[in-house]
Amino acid sequence: MMRRLATLAAAALTALALAPIAAAEAPQALPKHQLTGYWQNFVNNAQPLKVSDISPNYDLIALAFANADPARPGAVTFGVDPKLSEALGGYTDEQLKSDIAAKKAEGKSFVLSIGGELGNVDLGSEANVANFVDSVGKILTDYGIDGLDIDLEHGLNVPNTTKAVQQLREQVGDGFLLTMAPQTLDVQPGGAYLELINNLKDVITVVHTQYYNSGSMNGCDGQVYSQGSVDFITAQACSLLQVLRPDQVSLGLPAAPSAAGSGYVEPSVIGNALNCLTAAKDCGQYTPDQPHPELSGVMTWSINWDASSGNAFSDPVRAHLDTLP
């Protein structure tokens, strides 16, 4: 996901954004240490894939992306992209639904992703929120999708996004999965996603910050770290671990050098970051005060780029996740 920086919330929100999050019930339907991947519902230089061909390495699959409905502000649409269908020899919506059902029967989970590098959803009014909730609710039901992934990168209306998610969860019920993919700047002090996280703390499944396509960032130890290192990952994850349960925190990395403009790291670096955060070993300059063995796992952009490299990302990362306590 080629990332641009989203607009920050006012600095006055910092205190609220960093308020401790109370314990909530653990998310359902996911293993203790899961691997999340984004399935591309569009065509680029990555390998096009049917959902049925997604590697079993993945536990949670984000369908990327729902599109804004130009005829109905706030609403979104979803279906197999025509160019993707053509590339796959005629992949249909009904085949996609069948593939989702088959993967769910294997124990996999799905979320519908909104936003991305190029997408946006206008939640600027109550009417738009109602359109969003109605449209997403119908898509989740129609396709058998378990929840929502928020990847809005071009500004975030925190109050209305909060309302939309709360209404959608009330409609779907307790099995609703909620994930978020903020950019690094969005979860620095004053970042809009921190306020959203606080508002939705009781229903968040996992937040997988994108530790790529980023400039240098502050770590929780007050030091500045450059992307592409163990410290860049761990010292920022530390900040989020101060406001979320460990099982709500995952590490987002690109599956291949071509998957992102910058920030790719070898799977061995991801393994060291996981070991550092879960067991306080294999760290760089930053070492956590205490290990977090309940850390959720890893997210990658994208499943398609991973497939393009013969699962060179997911095979070792999956194997490493399976060794964690």
Asked if pLDDT for residue 4 goes beyond 60, the answer is no
Asked if pLDDT for residue 246 goes beyond 90, the answer is yes
- Which whole number is the average pLDDT over 20-46? 76
Structure tokens at 130: 């109602």
Query: Helix crossing, 158-172 with 192-199: angle to 10°?
Result: 30
What is the pLDDT confidence band of residue 28, given thresholds at 50, 70 and 90?
A: very low
- Which whole number is the average pLDDT over 128-156? 95
pLDDT in tens, 124-134: 999 999 999 99
Of these ranges, 1-15, 81-95, 111-125, the one predicted with the greatest mean pLDDT is 81-95
What is the pLDDT confidence band of residue 119, given thresholds at 50, 70 and 90?
A: confident
Of 86, 94, 117, 153, the active-site residue reads 153
What is the pLDDT confidence band of residue 102, given thresholds at 50, 70 and 90?
A: very high
The pLDDT of residue 153: 78
Asked if pLDDT for residue 3 goes beyond 60, the answer is no
Domains of the chain: 11-321 (3.20.20.80)
pTM above 0.85, yes or no: yes
Asked if pLDDT for residue 25 goes beyond 90, the answer is no
Active site residue 153: yes
- Which whole number is the average pLDDT over 108-137? 93
Q: DSSP states of 185-239 as a string?
A: GGGSTT-HHHHHHHHTTTT--EEEEE-SS---EE-TTS-EE-SSSHHHHHHHHHH
The pLDDT of residue 174: 86
Asked if pLDDT for residue 20 goes beyond 60, the answer is no
For the range 86-94, what are the long-range contacts, defined as Cβ-Cβ under 8 Å and sequence gap of 24 or more?
Answer: 87/43, 87/48, 88/48, 88/49, 88/50, 91/50
The pLDDT of residue 118: 74
> With 0-12 CB in 10 A as exposed, 13-18 as middle and 19+ as buried, what is 281?
exposed
* 101 vs 106: CA distance, rounded Å: 9
pLDDT in tens, 169-225: 999 998 999 999 999 999 999 999 999 999 999 999 999 999 999 989 999 999 999
Mean of all residue pLDDT scores within the chain: 91
